[in-house]
Amino acid sequence: MDNRFSNILDMGVRWMFEHLQLSSSFSARVLRERTMEVGPERIQEQYRVLETFCRITSSGGAWEKKVPQLQSYLGHLRDIRQTLSSLGEDRTPDDIELFEIKSLAMISENIRPMLNALELGDLHLPDLSRVTLMLDPEQVGIQSFYVYDTYDPRLPDLRKRIRSATDYAEELQYQVAVIEDSVRKSLATDLLPYRTALQDALLVLAHTDIMLAKAQQVHQLNLVLPALDEKTTVLKGLFNPEVKEVLEAEGKEFEPVDVSFSLFEPLLITGANMGGKSLTLKTMAMVQLLFQFGFGIPAQSATMVPVQRVFFCGGDQQDMLKGISSFGAEMKKIDQALALIEGGKKILFLVDEPARTTNPTEGAALVKALLQMLVQKNTLSVITTHYNLKGVHCQRLRVKGFQDGKMHYQLLADTLEETPREALRIATSLGINPRWMQLAANELENTNNKTQFNT
Amino acid sequence: MPFINELIQYSSLSIVGLGKNTGKTECLNYILAHLPLQKLRVGVSSAGIDGERTDQVTQTAKPEIFLRQGVLFTTSEKHYRHRRLTSELMHISQEQTSLGRLITGKVQTPGKVLLSGPPATASLKRWIQFLRENYQADLCIVDGALSRMSTASPAVSESMVLTTGAAVSVNMQELVSKTAFTCELIHLEKSEYAARLMNGANLNRVQIIDDENQLQATPFSSVMQLEAELKLLIKQARTVYIPGALTDRFLKSVSSDQHLIQTPIVVRDFTCVFASPMTFRLFLKKGGQIKVLEKSKLIALCVNPVSPGGYRLDSDKLCDELADKIQIPVYDIVKNG
């Protein structure tokens, strides 16, 4: 699996993609075909452009009123890459292809003055006025095409005769068809020098559409543009827009989370069941991908470190078809990531409760050892766990947890090395069989007494 | 000029054949040749893949559509490339058909073209709207698919012309009776509750107007299982709207109940009636009523007395017998056009 946008949609990005108001389905295709940016300069450049788009499309901005017009132009954008690449290949384009080229040139010419005035580096449209003139010789300015009378002096008379014929003028029609074809052929020759410019324009327009949509998403979902850092990712007020929307529809509120972590020092998140650890971890994976694809970030503020790959390992990895248990599948996945890390790749490594399905003694040992493996590695790693781990060198955060009869999802700095025991309280609050809960509480008390006695 | 003057009072028209080789294309060509184009902007397309040069089933020649200057037409990419006329390409739709995207052109010099247009009822409806909004088309003509009456649904077009002929049956009595039955369905009366039922909650559910004149939506999505609860609802109703097809089975079970048959039945339009002539007429004889939500205007019936095998029915006699039965104008266009 490479870092293509279409491959990362399942990592929580799909919702953001589906809520992107692109004007043309071609732009959506261009976005899906993109690969993740890993270089800080490229990411920085993307955000510089997005920042400009956000500024000019915000209320009072220079483009505020022009957006609907722009989107209506961009809505006519079609994927004509095939047409353009076959231009000049010893074949004559037909009216459909010439119409498509004319349409592209006209869209581009309409948008060019506005876009080029922004001086956004790569996002610059070439001059296609000659192409428009070639395909609109009567300068009607309408997006339609046929072999106009002006192309060949013989056409007006022949066509007049066809129109005045009482019956279908087969012979005349044939003569016209031959002339029309030679006109198309010479148009193709004339258009050839503009092929690269047309190809550039097509992509620049798609990217303009994408930038406009991203900027609108920033406004609509209250997203922020992140700052870049070489070492530490700091996310303040991080939220998951998809879950937020679901909760708000139910009249509930999403509790944003603050989280920060650095290279060389893994972050361990502990906390109660249902404390949103997995969601936070998933959101972190999503946010990193959004960052490297240049989207607005769902947080109050964000500083982020670019990585070469995002590695998320969580949920049930069981693959029955391959005959591997959930434990086995998880181990293999982690192993892949470790191989990357040991090979010197800078990745974001997110693992949700590793070794949860095995016995607590070995499980705890595995997690502790994993943390040790990650220390001093040029990688960002975040691990959640239930296990009590002592004496590990890592940064710790704890879910605030169940307080005042309510779950709090915020993450707090954790100095204790003891995992809070909230499982019974949470289960009880869910109304689980009271006798079972009582027996479990008794059992817990016995164990505690024994431990105390032993020490 | 028979029926052309009536035709131009409507904004959409579909031409449907009761069977293959009933002269549908001749009928369309006749209409296109006689419409007053100087007064009227006309758009034409076809429902699905139609308009092959030869009939795919019987391998007999099928006439192409001849278009005059100024007519807007929509056809597939494949057939647009093969057109034998000069036309200005106006629009390429994003909608895909089996023959490529749909292209809309405007005829610059008259000539011939094969039409293959939007494949489904919903996309035909969108096409008509598109032409009206973007090119101010006054009349949109749909060359309906053969033996697919749904393309003539009033949900698509306001008016229709039906073609029939010896290809349906060379037995004149059978031909007349089959044709008359279809006309009878097209002429089904519009329900007095049509507007209220149309605006009702859900046209995919059985709806009733109860004895207190209130519109009620029921949880039933079909009448395949005529449950006791539904029977009770229908018995107490002033009228009942049935989603989807009206089948023999349902009509028979209603016919056998002297209380149920009292309630007039409403279906979406005539294309939803799938009952056999026998059951349908028996139901009406017993006092049952069938009405529709939407009705299209049947403007004329065109007949082709020649069968693909070459058998020829007496044109005058056929026209007379049909006109006698269905009370709308009947034309033999090939003979009189």
How far is B129 from chain A, CA to nearest CA, in Å?
Answer: 19
* Residue closest to B275 by CA, chosen among B244, B231, B299, B239: B244
User: For residue B219, how far is the Cα from the chain centroid?
Assistant: 30
B87 near A CB under 8 A: yes
pLDDT at A2 over 70: no
- Closest partner CB to B80 (pick from A96, A165, A177): A96
User: What sign for the dihedral angle of Cα B283, B284, B288, B290?
Assistant: positive
Q: Which of A144, A165, A176 sits opposite B89 (nearest CB)?
A: A144
Tell me, yes or no, if B96 comes closer than 8 A to chain A by beta carbon. no
User: Which chain B residue has its CA at the smallest distance from A163's CA?
Assistant: B109
Q: What is the pLDDT of residues A11-58, one digit of tens each?
A: 778 999 999 999 999 999 999 999 999 999 999 999 999 999 999 999
Q: Beta strand A257-262 with A232-238: parallel, antiparallel or unpaired?
A: antiparallel
Q: Which residues of B touch A180 (CB under 8 A)?
A: 86
User: How much of chain A, in percent, has pLDDT values that exceed 90?
Assistant: 56
How many CB atoms neighbour CB B92 within 10 A? 20
Q: Which of residues 38-67 of B touch A (CB under 8 A)?
A: 66
Give the pLDDT score at A149: 94
Half-sphere exposure of B161 (CA within 13 A, CB side): 32
Q: Per DSSP, which regions of chain B are E strands?
A: 12-17, 42-46, 65-67, 72-76, 84-97, 100-113, 139-143, 159-165, 207-210, 215-217, 237-241, 265-267, 290-292, 297-304, 330-331
> Could you tell me how many CB contacts below 8 A there are between chain A and chain B?
52
| DSSP3 helix / strand / coil % (chain B, rounded to 5) | 30, 30, 40
State the best of B89, B99, B112, B134 to mutate against chain A, taking most chain A CBs within 10 Å. B89
What is the predicted pLDDT for the residue at A455?
Answer: 40
Q: Which residue of A has its CA nearest to B84?
A: A173
Please enumerate residues of A whose Cβ is less than 8 A from a Cβ of B: 25, 78, 94-96, 99-100, 144-147, 159, 162-163, 165, 168, 173, 176-177, 180
User: Which chain B residues have a beta carbon less than 8 Å from that of A146?
Assistant: 86-89, 105, 108
pLDDT for res B85: 93
Least confident of A72-76, A350-354, A443-447, B105-109: A443-447
| Tokens encoding A377 | 């590695």
Q: What is the pLDDT of residue B159?
A: 92
| pLDDT attached to residue A26 | 95
Question: Which among B277, B287, B281 is positioned nearest to B257, based on CA atoms?
Answer: B287
Q: From the CB of residue A61, how many other CB atoms can be counted at a distance below 10 Å?
A: 16
Q: Is ipTM strictly over 0.85?
A: no
- Identity of residue A133: L
Minimal Cα–Cα distance from B106 to chain A, Å? 10
DSSP string computed for B141-155: EEEPPTT-GGGG-TT
- The pTM of this model reads 0.82
H-helix or E-strand spanning residue B114:
none
Report the pLDDT value the prediction gives residue A409, as an integer from 0 to 100.
78
Q: Which two tokens stand for residue A266?
A: 């893994």
For residue A348, give the nearest of A317, A306, A316, A320 by alpha carbon.
A306
For A315-341, the pLDDT digits (tens) are 655 555 566 677 888 888 888 889 989
- CA dihedral B40→B46→B51→B55, nearest 10 degrees, is -130
- Flag if A147 and B86 touch (Cβ within 8 Å): yes
Predicted confidence at residue A420, as pLDDT, reads 60
In this prediction, the residues of chain B whose per-residue pLDDT falls under 70 are 1, 48-63, 145-149, 151, 201, 336-337
Residues B77, B312: Cα–Cα separation, whole Å: 38
Measured CA to CA, the distance from residue B205 to residue A382 in angstroms comes to: 52
Number of H helices, E strands in chain B: 11, 15
Least confident of A196-200, A407-411, B206-210, B212-216: A407-411
**pLDDT averaged over every residue in chain A:** 88
DSSP B63: P
In the predicted structure, residue A109 carries a pLDDT above the cut 90: yes
Q: What are the chain A neighbours of B33 within 8 Å (beta carbons)?
A: none
Stretch (H or E) spanning A313: strand A309-313
pLDDT at A319: 53
Supply B32's token pair. 């296109």
pLDDT digits (tens, 9 = 90+) for B239-273: 999 998 899 989 998 888 888 899 999 999 998 89
Q: Are strands A267-270 and B265-267 parallel, antiparallel or unpaired?
A: unpaired
The DSSP result for A9-39, as a single string, is GGGTHHHHHHT---S-HHHHHHHHH-B---S
A245 touches A227 (CB < 8 A): no
How would you label A161-199 residue by residue, b for 16+ Cβ within 10 Å and e otherwise?
Answer: ebeeeeeebeebbeebeebbeebbeebbeebeebeebbb
**Where does the pLDDT of residue A397 fall: very low under 50, low under 70, confident under 90, or very high at 90 and above?**
confident
The confidence score (pLDDT) of residue A277 equals 84
Residues 6+ apart with CB under 8 A from B258: none
Tokens of B120: 């489904």
pLDDT score recorded for residue A234: 95
Residue carrying the six token digits 């191989």: A339
* Strand B12-17, strand A406-413: pairing: unpaired
Question: Chain B residues with CB inside 8 Å of A177's CB?
Answer: 84
Name A116's bridge partners.
Answer: none
Say which of A78, A146, A165 has its CB closest to residue B89. A146
In terms of Cα–Cα distance, which of A83, A2, A12 is closest to A285?
Answer: A12
Query: b/e string for B136-158 if b means 16 or more Cβ within 10 A?
Result: ebbbbbbbbbbebbbbbbbbbbb
Higher pLDDT, A278 or A192: A192
Distance CA A216, CA A224 (A): 12
Tell me the Cα Rg of chain B.
21
